[in-house]
Amino acid sequence: MRFDIDRYKEIVDTLARNRSRTLLTGFGIFWGIFMLLIMLGGGDGLKSILNQNFGGFTSNAVIVGCNKTSKPYGGFKRDRTWYLDRTDIEAIKTLVPETDVVTMMDSDWGQGMSYKENTYSGILKGLSYEYTSVETPKMLYGRWINEVDCEQERKVCVIGKRVYSNLFPEGGDPTGEYIKVKDSYFQVIGVDDRSSGININGSPNQSVVIPYQLMNRLNNRGGKFDIICMTLKEGADSDLAQEKVKSVLSKRHSIAPDDNNAIMMLDTKKIFKIVDNLFKGVNILVILVGLGTLLAGAIGVSNIMMVTVKERTTEIGIRRAIGATPKMILSQIITESIGLTILAGMFGILFSVLILWGAGNIVSNLPDIGETVSFQIGFWTGIAVLMLLVVLGVLAGLAPALRAMEIKPVDAMREE
């Protein structure tokens, strides 16, 4: 269809005469696109932040802790305190084949730490070199504790980034320096820059990690500890593995098989699954709300085009009289509908992208984030939205176009 400047001037004049309705309709499309993209981009940004909070933490871990018994069993009274020990590690490795890495954790909270005149109160953790299978460190300086450190009980430590910023406010590489924790000195071998929102017995950024064997000896615990951290093999049944671990520990420590209080278990796989399902539900809700708003805008476009057709009845009738085919009339009205829809939609896309860009910059500069967070929509999401606008434009213009096709030259002349 050739470009006719006079016809498009008439379209503009008609829209101007109905500018309040046109602006309201355009705003409906604009707002629908804006809300849809803001919610989609915002949802992706929040998911990115949540993934950073889970950063480094494996999704197939099971954490086992000990608590007081709630039932009498094997000659022992209820409310008995019991502890895990090194032999439990070997028993689980042998009797629960679903497990991959089984390691221990010990923690002391509120420990005074100092370097020269700088002080901090944090968490002292005793871990094995195998613990990196549960939480992967993000080393800013140096290295993580290794097998030799653990076997030789070296007085070395890895400090979290909050410990680092308080004890070494001037910055720089602190490896090789000695910090005091309680009454002992430990050589810093690394700085863990991770700030995970999910943690076991204390945040890594507030912790000083030393070899477990060394901490156990310093605390005179005789091989006892409070938490077992284990990862499962690929494809292993997590529920079955937990039942087996509970059975092993119950028999070894004379705990009633139906005592659900004595042995605490945390399955990270279930946590990750809950989060994934939550975001799937949010995305579905966002799409439904956005499509509903867009549909309302499309109905508005259809109404404004109906008014346009009615006011241009004479023009359409004359065009039919001088040879315009129904196909030409149909394409004219639908093109106008698509144009109005895309124009309002493009403003919505542009505005939402600017808002999401600003939100991403603000969040990325927050001290507890420390990494770039993208709230932007993807390229293909933008293309899909444009295609949706075209479809909505066609649907919105279809009814007015069919009405325009039914206008007969004689009826148009009579109306004039």
pLDDT digits over 131-178, tens only? 988 888 889 999 999 999 999 999 999 999 899 999 999 989 999 999
Question: Residue 192 carries which side chain, given as an amino acid letter?
Answer: D
Report the alpha-carbon angle 349-355-356, nearest 5. 85
Question: Are residues 380 and 292 both part of a single domain?
Answer: yes
DSSP 159-194: EEHHHHHHH-TT-S--TT-EEEETTEEEEEEEEE--
DSSP letter for each residue of 46-83: HHHHHHHHTTTB-TTEEEEEE---SS-BTTBPSS----
pLDDT tens per residue, range 74-105: 888 888 999 998 899 999 999 999 999 999 89
| Boundary (domain end) residue, out of 268, 287, 307 | 268
Q: What is the pLDDT of residues 272-293, one digit of tens each?
A: 888 788 878 877 877 777 777 6
Predicted local confidence at residue 411, as pLDDT: 56
Same domain, 248 and 303: no
Domain boundary among 233, 268, 303: 268
Q: What is the DSSP string of 241-310?
A: HHHHHHHHHHHHTT--TT-TTTEEEEEHHHHHHHHHHHHHHHHHHHHHHHHHHHHHHHHHHHHHHHHHHH
Q: Are residues 65 and 182 in the same domain?
A: yes
Query: What does the pLDDT read at residue 312?
Result: 64
**Total tally of structural domains belonging to the chain:** 2
Is there a single domain that holds both residue 39 and residue 74? no
Higher pLDDT, residue 395 or 208: 208
Mean pLDDT of the chain: 80
Strands 61-66 and 263-267: antiparallel
* pTM, full prediction: 0.67
Domain membership of residue 397 as a residue range: 5-55+273-415
